[in-house]
Structure 1
Amino acid sequence: MANAELAATYAALILADDNVEITSEKILALTNAADVELEPIWATLLAKALEGKDVKELLSNVGSGGGGPAVGGGAAPAAAAGGGAAAAPEEKAEEKKEEKEESDDDMGFGLFD
């Protein structure tokens, strides 16, 4: 990362640590005070990306792995309706079935035919 990008990130962390709203003006003020030239667009983009987010919470959940994409789009509505326990085994069976259907052996040819 470039020094300016790091400085903008550190400025946002400083603001979050002091419980101050993260704005592009405040990021620019901190980077200017550190004698780092930062284009205003980058401060604006960073401020918009962090708008409404709890930066401290984001930092504490860095390695938790809970933010990954859901597998199989149909499981979420079933879980919301109360059938989440029954939907999980069906989903696994469905995934295995799809993998088997897409196999080269099922199409009549294999790697060594």
Structure 2
Amino acid sequence: MASTDLAATYAALILADEGIEITSDKIVELTNAAGTPVEPIWASLLSKALEGKDIKDMLTNIGSGGGAAAAAPAAGGAAATGGAEAAKEEEKKEEEKEESDEDMGFGLFD
């Protein structure tokens, strides 16, 4: 990431930490004060992306796997069990192949 991208992100984090609404004007103001000016279009896009989001909650739940990632297994539960059955069938096939190799005299220690 470029330093301007990081500066805009850090500015948004500072605003969230202080409980101030994240707007493009405030991001531009903070980055200019830090000596890393950001173009207003990027600050606007970042502020729109973070609009209505609880940044602190997002940071505390980074590894929880919430949202769409958690909903996918719940919705596809039947598909997951079908996949497990297919894996068991493949294991059975592999076991049969191993047994047949030994019957032909091709054992590991022969």
Q: Give the TM bin, normalised by the shorter chain.
A: 0.5 to 0.7
Report the counterpart of residue 59 of structure 2 in structure 1: 59
In structure 2, list runs of 5 or more residues that go unmatched.
89-110
* Correspondence 1:7 to 2:11: no
Letter in 2 for 1:21: E
Size of the aligned set, in residue pairs, is: 89
Structure 2 length as normaliser, TM-score? 0.67
Larger radius of gyration: 2
Report the counterpart of residue 35 of structure 1 in structure 2: 35
Alpha-carbon distance between aligned partners in 1 of 2:44 and 2:32, rounded to the nearest angstrom = 15
Identity %: 59
Superposition misfits of 4+ residues, deviation over 6 angstroms:
97-100
Cα RMSD of the aligned pairs, angstroms, is 2.6
In the TM superposition, residue 93 of structure 1 has moved relative to its aligned partner by 3.5
* Correspondence 1:93 to 2:103: no
Report the counterpart of residue 109 of structure 1 in structure 2: none
Task: Please identify which structure carries the higher helix content.
Answer: 2
Report the counterpart of residue 23 of structure 1 in structure 2: 23
